[in-house]
Structure 1
Amino acid sequence: MDGGAVRRDTGGASSPSGRRREREREQMRNLLLDTARGIAAEQGWQAVTIRRIADRIEYTSPVIYQYFSGKDALVSEVMCIGFRDITDRIEATMAEPVDSRLAALATAFWSFAFGAPELYQAMNGQAGVSFDGADMPPEVSRGFMVFHAVLESIAAEQGRRLRDPAAAVHTMWAYLHGFVALAMSGRVAGGAEQGERYMLASLQPLFDAQLA
């Protein structure tokens, strides 16, 4: 064996240059996603185009297509980011006492929506990309599963059960989303703070109606 031989960096994924390229690629993907979110936060998702993203980061459009096949693919990734975030927040409410867990769940949902409205809008089809059962990303499925688990935990600790788990999840999620959507569009007299109070006031009776 030639002890003086120099090991060449072939550029594979496990080589230093390969790892560097992977980091750079991930950084660029994050930059594109953050830029799209920034434009959406300022002007709405209808203003987000591949050309505008490219102009803002001072690249050409073809560079972006190396990372995303188009706006729909980019928005789908943003949607998944949103579902990962809201799922983590919902899951954290499992640590709350049972008598305040339902309100904590609703507050986590509300806080996420108003803390990152561009994410929330992308998650709910307002960016032009929606999903159905066949194409539902795993992040979306997990979000609903964790939401269901929190509702089940509240019922179980009260010695009850959800009469129809799927209906309960859809009913409670739709209720929260309805108040968020109305408040976000300025259609609640008194503004978002009043909208949150209305939401919390009728939350428990609606949940109780789902129990057997």
Structure 2
Amino acid sequence: MSTAARRARERAQRHQLIITAARELAETEGWEAVTTRRLAERVEYSQPVLYSHFGGKDGIVRAVALEGFTELTAALRRARESVQEHGPEDGTGRTLRAVGMAYWDFAARHPALYQAMFVLPTDLKFAHEETPQALRDAFGEFVAAFDPADPERLAMAEVSWASLHGLTTLGMSGRVPTATQTERIELLVTLLVGGG
């Protein structure tokens, strides 16, 4: 292995180590605890090394969010495909219900990650020419939950995601009880596509 290839590999490993440490710290102590000083101590690298990778905490949050979107996409895809593999007779309602429950489950299992993805300020933009592929892929899973022949497919995907995000944010902040979140998702699916 060449010196350049070894250095690139080591840099990628350091990059991932910092992201993983930030996620762990955020999940256990909250994002307020994630500082470059604490991360530098945790990963045993200097603060300038962290800055060379991310430019500061905002860059770290952005990297964590992108990783989160990749993981969210995988969770939504598994849920969608597990229903759709049984055939179209199972309907959009069942698919959207599975995607909605997977979305809620993901956020409930990873609250700090969800915050990085949707609550904390980042430069990540949806529906923009600069939208990273990880965000496009996550939205694509909502689009894929609807009938490809439906002319309102994109709008329905946007409304379903926005509604699920609202329900999730309200649930995670304690403004609505999480014990009845399944019923809310069921109601949302019924309102959007009927019971099918």
- Provide TM-score, normalisation by structure 2: 0.83
Matching residue within 101, 113, 119 for 1:119:
113
Looking at structure 2, the residues matched to 130 and 19 of structure 1 have their Cα atoms a distance apart, in angstroms, of 30
Looking at structure 2, the residues matched to 147 and 204 of structure 1 have their Cα atoms a distance apart, in angstroms, of 13
SS at 1:29 equivalent: helix
CA contact (8 A) 1:86 1:143 kept: yes
Question: Which one-letter code corresponds to 1:206 in the other structure?
Answer: L
1:102 maps to what in 2?
Answer: 96
Matching residue within 144, 163, 166 for 1:175:
163
- Higher share of residues assigned helix: 2
Q: After the TM superposition, list the runs of 4 or more consecutive aligned residues in structure 1 that deviate by more than 6 angstroms.
A: none
Looking at structure 1, the residues matched to 70 and 191 of structure 2 have their Cα atoms a distance apart, in angstroms, of 26
CA contact (8 A) 2:68 2:113 kept: yes
Looking at structure 1, the residues matched to 187 and 134 of structure 2 have their Cα atoms a distance apart, in angstroms, of 29
Looking at structure 1, the residues matched to 174 and 62 of structure 2 have their Cα atoms a distance apart, in angstroms, of 26
Q: Work out whether 1:145 is the aligned partner of 2:140.
A: yes
CA contact (8 A) 2:54 2:60 kept: yes
SS at 2:53 equivalent: coil
Aligned length: 184
1:184 maps to what in 2?
Answer: 172
Overall identity of the aligned pairs, in %: 35
Q: Which has the higher contact order (CA 8 A, sep 6+)?
A: 2
Deviation at 1:171, TM superposition (A): 0.8
Looking at structure 2, the residues matched to 106 and 193 of structure 1 have their Cα atoms a distance apart, in angstroms, of 15
Q: Which runs of 5+ in 2 are unaligned?
A: none
1:127-171 CA-to-partner distances (Å, cap 9, x unmatched) read: 321433243211101211221012235xx5xxxx2x523321111
Matching residue within 21, 25, 29 for 2:7:
21
1:163-190 CA-to-partner distances (Å, cap 9, x unmatched) read: 523321111001111111111111223x
CA contact (8 A) 1:46 1:127 kept: no
Looking at structure 1, the residues matched to 104 and 159 of structure 2 have their Cα atoms a distance apart, in angstroms, of 16
Question: Which one-letter code corresponds to 1:32 in the other structure?
Answer: I
Question: Which one-letter code corresponds to 1:79 in the other structure?
Answer: A
Rg: which structure is higher?
Answer: 1
Pairwise CA RMSD: 2.1
Q: Work out whether 1:67 is the aligned partner of 2:67.
A: no
Question: Which one-letter code corresponds to 1:202 in the other structure?
Answer: L
Structure-2 change in CA distance of 1:82 and 1:120 (3 Å) = same
Deviation at 1:23, TM superposition (A): 3.0
CA contact (8 A) 2:15 2:53 kept: yes
Looking at structure 2, the residues matched to 138 and 187 of structure 1 have their Cα atoms a distance apart, in angstroms, of 32
